Structure 1
């Protein structure tokens, strides 16, 4: 027997408009969108005064499973994501072992099918010596290929020119890259070790992993992609200079070269190292206020296409180390949408643009099948948001396994009240219903 849910009186934010409509969900999909809907057997949720958004699609997370589960697990981090309004994620290959074979890639899908509360996909990883394996990757049920053109875990730094050229010329699905020049970073690290006698302050991080290191790598990668007509996506832009590499003259669906901004690069600046220290140590680094503001504007100007998290948790014990021994990365999935809604309430971005950059555009860019929009017939990945419900981020309400957040002490004025994942009400008013797992993302690629 079909299960119906009726969301009444919501202000729907979708495809550039705000509409006061109801939404009827039948099983996994949106059955009807309209005014004054009713259904005799539906469970009714009154969303009066609240906004209804498509579920966020996060195209860059590190959920640490397998091999690094003392930091995080697919179950724990997907749970935090759902509480933050993220209904689908794309996870990176620098787990242990690195995801460099089709068998290891399938292992992650098997884990997620049993434990993920959100919908999921996993990137196939590229190395200097696995090109033939990469080329076996399915276009229909894998989000893309990930290449690290900068430091990473294990055997994932791709710095062989021949390998890069072969990857960019042969890839049939989107290639996503972490772009930082390794030679520049190593040189800068040695200079700062000498300057501070090994006791490097966290304020040096954006000088070591510098604008120069980022631009050298990203400009080289963009040139390589253009030369080979590669569909190419530059992850986590961290410097204002890099935004000049990207174009806004054509619609996203027609772009071959695209880019992403992450929450932390649009929120924090180098001034925050004085109080946050290693808690905001990411690769690439949080840089100046000018970089932060330029990235935000480039996102508004459509030079940067999507907003993601680069959620990458470490234990607080690992983070509580000196600069050279403190790993880079932090948890963000639970607080990404509240952070962007805070920007909205401060007058910096409209609700419609948040939905475009966090929901619609990832779906367009990766050609996600029947998700990312509130449309009849699409999967019911939906989020209800109350923009007048203030709360404080504290250790006690952090859901990531690591148990901390760079946003601790931050007051947000918006609360995610309900999250539907493929029609299943997975989260409602602080409580989870874990009876149904998320689904594998499929891709509508020719």
Structure 2
């Protein structure tokens, strides 16, 4: 059957919560109304469970090509749909890096065959690929990624003349990792001299400091203001950075936007002693005071998006001494559950959560008919049971790397079903053998 009728849904959409039925016809939502009937549709009774737009994650590292011992487009997108993420935008620091149009299209070819979720990729800017970037069609992919601080993959862009040319020569959203490299290198040299390779993990947010983040973010914003570029600052991690962003104009009118990641909203430096390098990220998880400022900025709309920065590494890699332990961790399976837990705790409302994880990514990246529950839009939907005891343990982790920083946490919600383009891709723990994911298209 190409039609599916969802009965008794409790929809969260565009800051409203309401009970309704929803009729899916092929890939699209055809009707939203009370008491729909259709004799040609397969009927699924949601029994009052929440129904959300599929989560759109604008920042993941799925490790393919070249790093597939950590994860792949197939394995990590499968974990994503189990976590209610129906759309992802993957980063360019793979091996080889996504810094040519040829390599970009090779990734699209893999995703077309293997991905469980809708997909696009960011094109990596470097010190020496400006001409290739100029050739890139603005509708080819979700945007351009710049590493203004070095991270996994060594794609640092530190030539200021080239940087200004990149900002001047693209119409696409420029998403930036902002940490000042010279500040970090000086701190790293100081502590390496003192400790060698075995630097205490608690010093990670001192080495990759708030000052390093602020200096880089403020420079990037100044350059965007000078050139008129469209800048999106990835994974804001400090309280002082939040004052760089505005909430006085609607998202649609912002030229400079920002996001925060799940780990910076959940963890603080108080947990380094227990979690060690499992919560080593770049930018670093910082203080509880920083975390509170991030929440404030998210709620008052200085921060526009919540993402994961899903970046798996093996436990063997993570268990190395500090200087050799890579930064990053797996999050797509548990990101929505973590935010729902914070909603239960009173930190954020359901409407605001959906705005930051669904509506705003769709708006910011100009996605075609995604991110909302509307008639005529793609049927990317997530059913959530709010009355569940859902412990995170090795036996139910789907990431290829086999671990989660949330191990030991019991969430109070469960992802029941995930629809991708109207197709029931994940159903009560079971995955469809068919993959109906689509390459993202844009209204630019």
Q: TM-score, normalised by structure 1?
A: 0.98
1:159 deviation in Å?
0.2
| Aligned-partner Cα distance in 1 for 2:121–2:145 | 10
Aligned to 1:157: 156
Gaps of 5+ in 1: none
> Whole-Å Cα distance in 1 between the matches of residues 257 and 140 of structure 2?
21
User: Aligned pair 1:337/2:358, yes or no?
Assistant: no
Deviations along 1:205-234, one digit per CA (max 9) or x if unpaired, are 000000011011000000000111111000
CA distance in 2, matches of 1:166, 1:264: 33
CA positional deviation for 1:169: 1.1
Taking the TM superposition and a 5 Å limit, the aligned residue runs for 1:200-239 are 200-239=199-238
SS in 2 for 1:158: coil
Find the counterpart in structure 1 of residue 269 from structure 2: 270
Partners of 2:33 and 2:21 lie apart in 1 by 5
Q: For residue 323 of structure 2, what is the aligned residue in structure 1?
A: 324
Residue correspondence of structure 1 range 85-124 to structure 2 within 5 A: 85-124=84-123
Alignment of 1:400 onto 2:399: yes
Tell me whether 1:193 sits opposite 2:192 in the alignment: yes
Structure 1 pair 155–292 and aligned structure 2 pair: CA distance change class (3 A) = closer
State the 1:100 CA deviation. Answer: 0.7
**Tell me, which stretches of 5 or more residues in structure 2 are unaligned?**
none
Residues 141 and 441, structure 1, Cα contact 8 Å, conserved in 2 = no
Contact 2:71 2:400 in 1 (8 A): yes
Q: C-alpha separation between the residues in 2 aligned to 1:39 and 1:140?
A: 37
Which residue of the partner structure matches residue 347 of structure 2? Answer: 348
Superposed displacement of residue 198, structure 1: 3.8
| Counterpart residue number, 1:178 | 177
Question: Aligned partners of 2:396 and 2:73: how far apart in 1?
Answer: 19
Q: Does 1:369 align with 2:368?
A: yes
- Please tell me whether the aligned partners of residues 308 and 358 of structure 1 are also in contact (alpha carbons under 8 angstroms): yes
Structure 1 residues 22, 97: closer, same or farther in 2, change over 3 A?
A: same
Deviation string, structure 1 residues 18-42 (Cα, Å, up to 9, x no partner): 1100000001000100000011021
1:223-246 deviation line (CA, Å, top 9, x unaligned): 000111111000000100000100
Aligned residues: 444
Does the C-alpha gap of structure 1 residues 154 and 312 become closer, same or farther in structure 2, counting only changes over 3 Å?
A: closer
Between the aligned partners of 2:196 and 2:3, the Cα distance in structure 1 is 65
Residues 240-389 of structure 1 aligned to structure 2 (within 5 Å): 240-389=239-388
Distance 2:126 2:309 in 1: 20
- Measured in 1, the distance between the counterparts of 2:349 and 2:12 equals 10
The answer on whether the counterparts of 1:117 and 1:434 sit within 8 Å (CA) in structure 2 is: no
Is 1:433 paired with 2:412?
no
Deviation at 1:155, TM superposition (A): 5.1
Q: In the alignment, what sits opposite 1:61?
A: 60
Aligned to 1:123, the other structure's residue is in SS state strand
Q: Distance in 1 between matches of 2:201 and 2:5?
A: 50
Q: What's the offset of the Cα at 1:152?
A: 2.9
Following superposition, the deviation at residue 196 of structure 1 comes to 2.5
TM-score by length of 2: 0.99
* CA offset digits 1:383-433 (Å, max 9, x no partner): 000111111000111101000000000010010100000011000101000
Deviations 1:272-320 (A, max 9, x none): 1000000000000000000111101100010000000000000111011
Q: Following the alignment from structure 2 to structure 1, what is the Cα–Cα distance between the partners of residues 393 and 413?
A: 15
Alignment RMSD (CA, Å): 0.9
Deviation at 1:197, TM superposition (A): 4.2
> Following the alignment from structure 1 to structure 2, what is the Cα–Cα distance between the partners of residues 268 and 153?
21
- 3-state DSSP of counterpart to 1:21: strand
Residue of structure 2 in register with 1:35 after alignment: 34
Work out the CA distance in 1 between the residues paired with 2:324 and 2:19: 52
Partner of 2:21, secondary structure, is strand
Deviation of residue 436 (structure 1)? 2.1
Q: Kindly indicate whether the alpha-carbon contact (under 8 Å) linking 1:75 and 1:117 is maintained by their aligned counterparts in 2.
A: yes
Question: 2:426·2:432 contact (CA, 8 Å) conserved in 1?
Answer: yes
